């Protein structure tokens, strides 16, 4: 009796099929070949007919050579760290595409010689923050702090309030990051109260700088006292301020959130911030301040290991100079509009037999920004059982599970995503 496995087409034959060959141009030979071989194994096990191998190979191929999947952020957390924080503006996305080829990132086209790296992005930062004499960009906020600690504090003391010894994402702790650079910490005050005199008494010949860290992921309330940047200016020491979430200027939507312009005007010598949070740009760390200090950091050997690429510089410039990024629009969303959208979506789903209800909700900035600030929002409430299949669907939808409900919060989603969200829910059930 003839073995049916002999009828399974060989790999070369599958790859030679015109439709499969065109996918090789799009996805690469290795990925397509691996997919074809997996389908062949299914045919040899009798799970499908040999003549289905080509069609099944095409069906099994991914949409992209990258495994990164887009996710609809329906959590109500505007800057969700697990989802890559800030969604980039259309201008920043276009800049990424322009920068993907060969560019003038470190070339002066007028002279044909080497030019300053990322000069346009740095100029955009200085224009946005006139109080900054100079700017430098590294690969994230923690890198910016580590570079400052290494260049200005290694072998010396960094004076820091005990109430600002924070832990950031994934268990990384600011004190451990600082001491890993060779600096020593001089802690002052208590967890809830610190005064200017505490800082002054800690200063001495071994002081590298005074550091003020915005406790961006928690709030201490009650019997508290702290010293603002303007107060610390009175100290006879360099002042480095880590504002965390990356506002370049005051934002009326978040009046209590620190910003780089105000911190520098109040006396900071150097300001550190993240680019992928409230600024709304790509992941990077910003260093803004006195020209002498910024240049010292830029020329430090460690700065090379923290250098950002052309894609980051292009997206950062477009974010700073371009239109409002999605995070800025989300912070200013009208709660009445969000509720109108939620009601319309819930009505459409209910008409299709899905138990859905529009409810008022509360969103959060996320990403370490504006801790404790609740943003009025609206959501579509579904039974909790929807959460997992939505997460595994196409497109993937990340909801918020709260009190036995699956909440699709609209705060982080533009209105044009509502139809896609509706289809995703209907596909589940």
> Is 112 exposed, middle or buried (CB count within 10 Å of its CB: 0-12, 13-18, 19+)?
exposed
What is the b/e burial string over 74-104, where b = at least 16 CB atoms within 10 angstroms of the residue's CB? Answer: bbbbbbbeebebbbbbebbeebbeebeeeee
Work out the mean pLDDT of the chain and round it to a whole number. Answer: 94
pLDDT tens digit string along 34-93?
A: 999 999 999 999 999 999 999 999 999 998 999 899 999 999 999 999 999 999 999 999
Residue with the larger pLDDT of the pair 167 and 301: 301
Lowest mean pLDDT among 61-65, 106-110, 213-217, 242-246: 213-217
Q: How far apart are CA 49 and CA 38, in angstroms?
A: 14
Q: How far apart are CA 152 and CA 142, in angstroms?
A: 15
pLDDT at 99 (0 to 100): 97
Q: Which helix (H) or strand (E) holds 29?
A: helix 29-44
Q: How many CB atoms lie within 10 A of CB 152?
A: 22
Residue 145, pLDDT > 80, answer yes
- Three-point CA angle 305, 307, 313, nearest 5°: 165
Q: How far apart are CA 289 and CA 135, in angstroms?
A: 7
Q: Among residues 314, 316, 318, which one has the least CA distance to residue 102?
A: 314
For residues 165-193, average pLDDT: 90
Model confidence at 1, pLDDT cuts 50, 70, 90, reads: low
CATH 3.40.640.10 domain extents, the chain: 90-323
For residues 18-43, average pLDDT: 95
Tell whether domain 90-323 is in CATH 2.60.40.2140. no
Token look-up 């002054």 returns 200
Q: Among residues 313, 295, 311, which one has the least CA distance to residue 303?
A: 295
Q: What is the dihedral of CA 132, 236, 167, 224, to 10 degrees?
A: -110
pLDDT tens digit string along 242-280?
A: 998 889 999 999 999 999 999 999 999 999 999 999 999
Q: Among residues 421, 415, 418, which one has the least CA distance to residue 398?
A: 421
Lowest mean pLDDT among 94-98, 222-226, 313-317: 222-226
Residue 3, pLDDT > 80, answer no
> Is 321 exposed, middle or buried (CB count within 10 Å of its CB: 0-12, 13-18, 19+)?
middle
Residue 218, pLDDT > 80, answer no
Domain 71-82+329-428: which topology? 3.90.1150
Q: Residue 252: helix, strand or coil by DSSP?
A: coil
Residues 6+ apart with CB under 8 A from 114: 106, 107, 108
Residue 322, pLDDT > 70, answer yes
Q: Residue 381: helix, strand or coil by DSSP?
A: strand
CATH 3.90.1150.180 domain extents, the chain: 71-82+329-428
Q: Is the pTM of this model over 0.85?
A: yes
For residues 93-115, average pLDDT: 95
The encoded tokens of residue 34 equal 């691996």
For residues 209-230, average pLDDT: 88
Share of the chain above pLDDT 90, in %: 89
pLDDT at 170 (0 to 100): 75
Share of the chain above pLDDT 70, in %: 99
pLDDT tens digit string along 338-370?
A: 999 999 999 999 999 999 999 999 999 998 888
Q: How far is CA 345 from the centre of its chain?
A: 28
């Amino acid at each position: 009796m003839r073995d049916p496995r002999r009828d399974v087409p060989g790999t070369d034959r599958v790859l030679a099929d015109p439709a499969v060959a065109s996918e090789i141009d799009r996805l690469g030979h290795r990925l397509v070949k691996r997919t074809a071989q997996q389908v062949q194994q299914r045919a040899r096990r009798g799970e499908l007919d040999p003549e289905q191998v080509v069609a099944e190979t095409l069906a099994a191929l991914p949409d992209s050579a990258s495994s990164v999947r887009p996710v609809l952020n329906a959590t109500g957390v505007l800057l969700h760290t697990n989802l890559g924080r800030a969604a980039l503006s259309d201008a920043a996305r276009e800049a990424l595409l322009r920068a993907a080829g060969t560019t003038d990132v470190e070339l002066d086209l007028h002279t044909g010689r080497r030019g300053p790296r990322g000069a346009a992005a740095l100029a955009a930062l200085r224009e946005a923050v006139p109080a900054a004499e100079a700017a430098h960009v590294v690969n994230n906020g923690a890198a910016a702090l580590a570079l400052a600690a290494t260049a200005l504090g290694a072998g010396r003391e960094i004076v820091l309030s005990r109430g600002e010894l924070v832990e950031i994402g994934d268990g990384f702790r600011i004190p451990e990051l600082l001491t890993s650079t060779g600096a020593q910490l001089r802690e002052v005050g208590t967890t809830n109260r610190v005064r200017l005199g505490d800082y002054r008494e800690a200063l001495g010949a071994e002081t590298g700088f005074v550091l003020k860290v915005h406790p961006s992921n928690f709030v201490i309330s009650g019997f508290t006292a702290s010293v603002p940047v303007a107060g610390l200016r009175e100290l006879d020491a360099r002042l480095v301020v880590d504002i965390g979430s990356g506002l370049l200027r005051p934002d009326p939507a978040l009046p209590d959130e620190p910003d780089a312009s105000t911190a520098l005007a109040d006396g900071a010598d150097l300001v550190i911030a993240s680019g992928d949070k409230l600024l709304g740009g790509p992941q990077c760390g910003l260093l803004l301040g006195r020209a002498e200090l910024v240049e010292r950091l830029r020329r430090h050997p460690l700065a090379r290991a923290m250098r950002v690429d052309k894609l980051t510089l292009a997206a950062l410039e477009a974010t700073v100079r371009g239109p409002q990024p999605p995070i800025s629009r989300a912070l200013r969303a009208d709660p009445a509009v969000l509720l109108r959208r939620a009601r319309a979506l819930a009505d459409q789903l209910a008409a299709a037999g899905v138990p859905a209800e529009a409810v008022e909700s509360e969103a959060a900035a996320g990403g370490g920004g504006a801790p404790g600030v609740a943003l009025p929002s609206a959501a579509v409430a579904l039974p909790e059982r929807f959460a997992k299949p939505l997460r595994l669907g196409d497109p993937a939808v990340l909801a918020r599970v709260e009190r036995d409900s699956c909440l699709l919060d609209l705060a982080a989603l533009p209105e044009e995503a509502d139809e896609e969200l509706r289809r995703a829910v209907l596909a589940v059930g």
